[in-house]
């Protein structure tokens, strides 16, 4: 979605913009109809001000010009960012560069399918950093039962437990940034770009928490979720979990310090029906992996966790249940193995996939039995918080729990 060109010194603070409250909106590459719909929503969201809109998409030859209150800025996306389903390192560098060049005081970064975001949601995201005290505003989505389960099962509980921040969707699709937050993210992103990793994932929640910047969470209702180009769960989970595990490793000095969690903001729970999902393929994959990957798992997991997996491997589908504390310890032990390079990281992340499928199957069985999906996710996050001392102990003394 973005080009890269500037080097950013993380030790310097961005210069204040001349015009107070000027907003830059950064858009991904959108088809013509999607672009027009997004621009119309932006104009409706901010009828009283002129908005800078950075877009790689062109309106040339279009019968519908951009609304008068929108000033379009063209940029050239990198090859990786042009097809990305998530914000990447290049996007953050590009947004900060354009904000500085155009004296903006805040940035609104939108992901693919941005035309599905309502004007009032766009306004709420932007105003949280323009007129409130937030440096980072993260969107809170109204999702379906089987959407964003990697987020629910791994990203959210790990971010909440370790970084003491509660945004429900910590891997950004849409977010608003103060100028200093944009500079902080761009400085982090520049390190990846210097290694030619323009498509690297950046974790805004962790970056903000580590420097004590204020984080807000804004309800934006339903949104069409962009779909990754890769349909292979192994590759997708390896990319996302690997990036998160690397972030945990990089910020170990921060999250190991004792701290509480920010107060929770309550959002209305969706009245979702209990879908009759077929969990048989997930359980088949887990049981096959229990036979084929047991040797790898035994290098990563302590005996108690392996015993828990043995019980799961013979559990009938209708009562299949992975305890929350077992899943928390599995994820924590994989984070530790990632840090220690216990085995090849690619093999490690591949060995996580069938365990994740077992957690998804357990979650769906629990929901089918009448438990509200969001209640289970919050209970799971609480289990990760409770077991944080386990990770801290293993991080400091990794051999203590070995057989």
One digit per residue, the tens of pLDDT, for the chain of length 403 reads: 444 443 444 444 443 333 346 999 999 988 888 999 999 999 999 998 889 999 988 776 555 667 888 999 988 876 555 446 789 999 999 999 999 999 999 999 999 999 999 999 999 999 999 987 899 999 998 877 667 789 999 999 999 999 999 899 998 799 999 999 999 999 999 999 999 888 899 999 999 999 999 999 999 988 998 888 766 889 999 999 999 999 999 999 999 986 766 665 555 555 455 456 789 999 999 999 999 999 999 999 999 999 999 999 999 999 999 999 999 999 999 999 999 999 999 999 999 999 999 999 999 999 999 999 999 999 999 999 999 999 999 998 877 655 4
| Residue 218, phi then psi, degrees to nearest 5 | -115, 125
Residue located via tokens 């904000």: 99
Distance CA 158, CA 87 (A): 20
List of domains in the chain: 23-255 (3.90.550), 280-396 (no CATH)
* DSSP 8-state secondary structure symbol assigned to residue 113: T
| Residue 115, phi then psi, degrees to nearest 5 | -65, -15
Distance CA 343, CA 271 (A): 43
The predicted structure's pLDDT at residue 340: 95
Give me the DSSP letters along 141-210. E---TTSSHHIIIIIHHHHHHHH----S--S-SSEEEEHHHHHHHHHHHHHHHTTT-TT----HHHHHHH
Cα 236 to the chain's mean position, in Å? 13
Distance CA 334, CA 291 (A): 19
Give me the DSSP letters along 137-157. EEEEE---TTSSHHIIIIIHH
Distances (CA, A) of 85 to 110, 203, 216, 316: 11, 15, 23, 37
The DSSP element (H or E) to which 120 belongs, if any, is helix 119-130
């Amino acid at each position: 979605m973005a080009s890269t060109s500037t080097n950013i010194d993380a030790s310097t603070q961005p210069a204040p913009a001349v015009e107070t409250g000027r907003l830059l909106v950064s858009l991904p590459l959108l088809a013509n109809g999607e672009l027009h719909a997004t621009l119309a929503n932006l104009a409706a969201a901010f009828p009283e001000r002129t908005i800078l809109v950075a877009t790689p998409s062109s309106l040339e030859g279009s019968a519908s010009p951009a609304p008068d209150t929108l000033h379009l800025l063209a940029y050239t996306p990198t090859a990786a960012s042009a097809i990305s389903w998530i914000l990447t390192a290049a996007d953050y560098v590009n947004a900060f560069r354009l904000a500085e060049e155009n004296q903006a005081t805040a940035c609104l970064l939108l992901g693919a399918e941005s035309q599905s975001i309502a004007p009032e949601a766009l306004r709420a995201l932007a105003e949280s950093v323009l007129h409130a005290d937030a440096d980072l505003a993260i969107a809170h989505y109204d999702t379906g039962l089987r959407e964003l389960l990697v987020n629910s099962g791994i990203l959210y509980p790990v971010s909440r437990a370790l970084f003491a921040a509660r945004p429900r969707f910590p891997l950004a699709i849409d977010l608003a940034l103060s100028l200093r937050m944009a500079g902080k993210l761009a400085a982090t992103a520049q390190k990846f770009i210097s290694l030619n990793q323009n498509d690297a994932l950046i974790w805004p929640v962790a970056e903000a928490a580590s420097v004590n910047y204020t984080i807000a969470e804004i309800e934006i209702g339903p949104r069409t979720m962009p779909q990754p180009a890769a349909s292979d769960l192994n590759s997708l989970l390896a990319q996302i979990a690997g990036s998160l595990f690397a972030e945990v490793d990089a910020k170990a000095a921060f999250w190991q310090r004792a701290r509480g969690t920010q107060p929770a903001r309550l959002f209305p729970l969706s009245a979702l029906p209990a879908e009759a999902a077929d969990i048989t393929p997930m359980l088949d994959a887990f049981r096959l992996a229990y036979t084929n990957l047991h040797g790898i798992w035994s290098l990563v997991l302590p005996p108690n966790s392996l015993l828990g997996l043995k019980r799961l491997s013979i559990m009938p589908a209708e009562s299949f249940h992975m305890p929350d504390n077992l899943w928390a310890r599995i994820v924590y032990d994989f984070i530790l193995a990632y840090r220690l390079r216990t085995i090849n990281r690619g093999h490690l992340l591949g060995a996580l996939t069938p365990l994740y499928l077992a957690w998804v199957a357990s979650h769906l069985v629990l929901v089918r039995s009448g438990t509200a999906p969001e209640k289970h996710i919050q209970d799971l996050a609480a289990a990760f918080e409770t077991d944080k001392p386990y990770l801290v102990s293993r991080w400091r003394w990794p051999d203590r729990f070995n057989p």
